[in-house]
Structure 1
Amino acid sequence: MSKKVSRRQFLTYTLGGTAGFLGMGMLFPMIRFAADPMLKKGGKGAFVKTNYKEDQITETPLSVDFRVDVKDGWYVPEGGEPRTAWVMKSEGKILALSPVCKHLGCTVGWESNPQFKGEFFCPCHFGRYFKNGTNVPGTPPTKPLDQYETKIEAGHLWIGPIKKA
């Protein structure tokens, strides 16, 4: 027993298939346009020269502002995106820590709470970090602060991308 397709069904299938084909032809460029920034490979982060000289860096954390060239999709901020790092000397090396708390992404401050001297403090949920960036056990953050790569060239501090853990 064969099942016959009526003229009406044939016309419906043909028009539906054609509409689907034309719709995909219009939809594909839109999807490609939206997804294009995600498909491009990002470049390796470059080092950025700061306004600080090596002799200005001490064992006391210093807030250092710098700008990084970033491309967010098609938007490229003029002059770069502002960033900050806590920079200090630790065990003879220069340590640059990200001020972004690993718990909720708030900004940590050095000795910003009088109760916790010698520690970084996050006001959002009382997150605390030791001077070397490791989290204080029993406080909300479960990971240490991110560290930036650093180097000294011609006596000036250069800050690079965040080190991969």
Structure 2
Amino acid sequence: MSQKVTRRQFMNYSLMGVGSFMAAGMILPMGRFAIDPLFTESSAGDMITTSVKIDDITEEPVSVDFTFEQKDGWYVSEVTDFAWVYREGNEIIALSPVCKHLGCTVSWATDSANPDRFFCPCHNGLYEKNGANVPGTPPRGPLDMFEVGESDGYLTIGAIHENELV
């Protein structure tokens, strides 16, 4: 004889099945979100090649543009940034243009009273050529530095880090 399923058992099985599918529909995306960073490739050590030749870099800081891909969630965009690059002896220095006071953009030799310093127009902040903040001006710390390198005679710029010159 075959066993009959009662209405109560049928409702139990149906609700349990539907509930299981609903729970799986919520838990699987959360699990994917949690483990997805483990499978992505890290690009923190990548160097970006610029259009400036190493031989063209002088002791006067110049603005060097570089472009990189930035990923925000699932949106990938191309970002253009720049660094202040100059030569100090045999060493090439690349400084961040972001003021440590409020994040404004600093410029080289634009203040007539301080022609050989970086100047922040937001609150008259001053930095020395090596990125050290001038005492008595608003910046709280020195300008950050970029890693620099060479690829086929062209300047490469890498990750940003704290200033090692001061």
Runs of 4+ in 1 over 4 A off after TM superposition: none
In the TM superposition, what is the alpha-carbon distance from 1:164 to its structure 2 partner?
4.8
1:71 aligned counterpart, secondary structure: strand
Count of equivalent residues: 140
Alpha-carbon distance in 2 for matches of 1:74, 1:66: 23
User: Is it true that 1:145 corresponds to 2:116 in the alignment?
Assistant: no
Q: Which residue of 2 aligns with 1:100?
A: 98
Question: Matched residue of 2:55: which SS?
Answer: helix
Give SS of 1:55's match: helix
Matches within 5 A, 1:12-161: 32=30, 36=33, 40=37, 43-77=43-77, 80-161=78-159
CA distance in 1 between partners of 2:114 and 2:37 (Å): 44
In 2, Cα distance between the equivalents of 1:160 and 1:47?
Answer: 4
What whole-Å deviation, never above 9, does each CA across 1:49-100 have from its counterpart, x for those lacking one? Answer: 11010111000001001101221122101xx211100000013200000100
TM-score (norm 1): 0.73
Note if contact 1:90-1:132 (Cα within 8 Å) is conserved in structure 2: no
The CA distance in 1 between the partners of 2:104 and 2:148, in whole Å, is: 23
CA deviation vs aligned residue, 1:15-57 (integer Å, no higher than 9, x gap): xxxxxxxxxx6xx76x959xx59x8375424101110101110
* Mapped partners of 2:121, 2:59: distance in 1: 23
State the alpha-carbon separation in 1 of the partners of residues 122 and 56 from structure 2: 31
Unaligned runs of 5+ residues in structure 2 are: 1-22
Distance 2:105 2:57 in 1: 21
The CA distance in 2 between the partners of 1:121 and 1:164, in whole Å, is 19
Per the alignment, in what secondary structure is the counterpart of residue 70 of structure 1?
strand
2:64 aligns to what SS in structure 1?
strand
Percent identity, please: 47
Question: TM-score, with normalisation over the residues of structure 2?
Answer: 0.73
Question: Unmatched 5+ residue regions in structure 1?
Answer: 1-24
Taking the aligned partners of 1:75 and 1:102, their CA distance within structure 2 comes to 28
Q: Counterpart amino acid of 1:143?
A: G
